[in-house]
C-alpha cells in the first residue's frame, strides 16, 4: 500500500534493544559457545541431535531432555566418545508434562559446571497428518475429542519451556543482561532462548492444520517476547526451517516435494549455531531452505541465477523489518487512546481507580460469600 507523502516511519528498534539485521556474509566464531551450558528439549534425534553433536564438539556443556531414552543414551555415548567432552548429559523429559520440564531445568542447573543455564533451545516437536479435517462419529452420544497431541507438544510444551527459561536464564550465575554491542568473547555467560519455528510459521501448510497452528503460535511468541525480554536481560531468537531432510519429514511429504528441493540439516545447524554463539544477536529470526543461486534485480527482488557464478544461499532473515516501522493501525489506535487519557486527565484516572477498587472489593466479597 502506498504511503502518504507526509508519512514518517516510527521505528522501535532502539526501544526494544533489537540488534541490527544479520549480515550472513560476516564470519563469526562458533567457538564462542565453548563453556556455555545448553538445555535442548527433544535433543535425541533430528535437529536436536545435530545441535548436540556440533555444540558439544565445540566445548559446550549440553543437557538433553527427551522421552526417547534409548536414542538419547546412545547419542550421549557417541558424542562423548567423538568429542572427548564428558559434559553431555541426558535427563528424561516429557515436554507435555509441566513437572517433568521443571525437573529437567533443576537437573540441568545441577549438572552445569557453573551451576546455571546459558542457553535454552525449545526444540521438541512432531509433525504429520493429524486428522483434524476429517472428523468422524461426532453425532454419537459421546463423540471422540480431536487428537491435539501436536498442539500439546509443539505449543504447550514450548510455552512450558519458555516459562521456565525466563526464570532460569535470569538466575544464571555470572551472567549479565544481553547487549547487542558487547563482543561475544567478553561474554562467557549468556541468557539466550532459541525458539524453533518452521516454514509453517510463515504460511499455511496443507493437510496439517494443527502443525500450522502450533508453529504460528511459536512465531507469535517470538515476535512478542523479542519486544519485552530485554527488560529481563534475555535475548530471544528464532529459526524457521523449510522442509528439511530429517526423520520428521513423512513419506507423504517427500512424495509431495518430489522434483523440488529440500533443505539440509547442516544449514539449520549452522543458522542455529550463529544465533547461539553470537551473543550480540537479539530479536532476530532466520529462515532455512534449499541452497539456491540467487541475485538481486534492480528492484531489490531476488531472482534465480542458476547459471551465474554466484554463491548459493540457504539461510535468509525473516521478519527483519517488524520494528523498523510500527504497524500503522495499532500505532493510530494507541495514539488515540493516549490522547483520550490526556483529555480525561487526573480526574479520569482517579475515577477509574476508584471504580477498579470498588469492583475488586465487591467481587472479593461475592467470592467469599460463595464459599
Geometric angle at alpha carbon 268, from 267 and 274, rounded to 5°: 90
Annotation marks residue 307 as catalytic: no
Q: Which SS3 state, helix, strand or coil, does residue 283 take?
A: coil
Question: How many other CB atoms are found less than 10 A from the CB of residue 114?
Answer: 17
CB 90 within 8 A of CB 73: yes
**Catalytic pick among 160, 215, 242, 264:** 215
For cell 532459541, what's the residue?
194
Cα 255–204–126 angle (5° rounding)?
65
Question: Residue 322: how many CA atoms within 13 Å on its side-chain side?
Answer: 18
281 is written with which cell numbers?
A: 544477536
106 is catalytic: no
Residue 152 · residue 98 · CB < 8 Å: no
Question: Which helix or strand (DSSP H or E) is residue 25 part of?
Answer: none
Q: Are strands 192-196 and 119-122 parallel, antiparallel or unpaired?
A: parallel
Q: Is residue 190 a contact partner of residue 117, using CB atoms and an 8 Å limit?
A: no
Nearest to 146 by CA among 157, 130, 128, 127: 130
Q: Is 88 in contact with 38 (CB distance < 8 Å)? A: no
d(CA 31, CA 116): 19
State the catalytic residue, choosing from 17, 51, 160, 211.
211
CA 46 to the chain's CA centroid: 17
Q: What is the DSSP string of 219-258?
A: HHHHHHHTTTGGGGT-EEEEEEE-SBSSTTS-HHHHHHTT
Instruction: Write out the three cell numbers for 59.
Output: 566445548
Residues involved in catalysis: 211, 215
Amino acid at each position: 500500500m502506498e504511503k502518504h507523502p507526509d508519512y514518517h516511519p516510527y521505528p522501535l528498534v532502539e526501544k526494544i534493544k533489537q540488534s541490527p539485521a544479520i549480515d550472513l556474509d560476516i564470519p563469526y566464531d562458533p567457538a564462542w559457545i565453548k563453556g556455555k551450558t545448553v538445555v535442548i528439549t527433544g535433543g535425541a534425534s533430528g535437529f536436536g541431535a545435530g545441535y548436540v553433536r556440533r555444540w558439544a564438539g565445540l566445548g559446550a556443556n549440553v543437557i538433553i531432555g527427551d522421552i526417547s531414552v534409548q536414542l538419547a543414551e546412545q547419542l550421549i555415548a557417541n558424542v562423548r566418545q567423538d568429542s572427548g567432552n564428558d559434559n553431555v548429559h541426558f535427563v528424561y523429559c516429557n515436554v507435555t508434562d509441566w513437572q517433568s520440564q521443571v525437573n529437567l531445568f533443576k537437573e540441568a542447573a545441577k549438572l552445569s559446571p557453573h551451576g546455571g543455564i546459558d542457553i535454552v533451545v525449545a526444540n521438541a516437536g512432531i509433525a504429520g497428518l493429524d486428522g483434524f479435517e476429517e472428523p468422524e462419529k461426532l453425532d454419537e452420544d459421546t463423540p471422540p475429542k480431536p487428537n491435539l497431541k501436536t498442539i500439546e507438544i509443539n505449543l504447550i510444551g514450548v510455552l512450558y519451556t519458555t516459562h521456565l527459561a525466563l526464570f532460569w536464564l535470569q538466575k544464571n550465575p555470572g551472567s549479565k543482561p544481553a547487549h547487542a554491542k558487547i563482543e561475544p568473547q567478553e561474554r562467557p555467560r549468556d541468557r539466550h532462548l532459541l525458539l524453533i519455528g518452521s516454514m509453517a510459521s510463515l504460511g499455511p501448510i496443507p493437510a496439517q492444520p494443527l502443525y500450522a497452528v502450533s508453529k504460528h503460535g511459536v512465531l507469535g511468541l517470538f515476535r512478542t517476547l523479542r519486544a519485552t525480554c530485554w527488560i529481563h536481560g534475555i535475548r530471544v531468537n528464532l529459526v524457521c526451517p523449510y522442509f528439511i531432510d530429517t526423520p520428521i519429514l513423512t513419506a507423504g511429504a517427500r512424495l509431495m516435494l518430489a522434483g523440488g528441493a529440500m533443505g539440509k540439516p547442516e544449514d539449520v545447524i549452522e543458522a542455529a549455531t550463529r544465533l547461539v554463539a553470537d551473543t550480540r544477536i537479539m530479536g532476530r529470526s532466520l529462515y532455512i531452505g534449499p541452497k539456491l543461486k540467487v541475485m538481486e534485480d534492480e528492484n531489490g527482488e531476488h531472482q534465480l541465477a542458476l547459471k551465474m557464478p554466484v554463491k548459493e544461499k540457504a539461510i535468509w532473515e525473516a521478519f527483519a523489518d517488524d520494528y523498523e516501522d510500527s504497524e500503522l493501525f495499532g500505532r493510530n489506535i494507541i495514539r488515540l487512546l493516549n490522547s483520550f487519557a490526556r483529555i480525561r486527565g487526573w480526574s479520569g484516572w482517579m475515577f477509574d481507580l476508584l471504580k477498579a477498587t470498588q469492583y475488586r472489593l465487591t467481587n472479593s466479597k461475592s467470592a467469599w460469600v460463595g464459599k
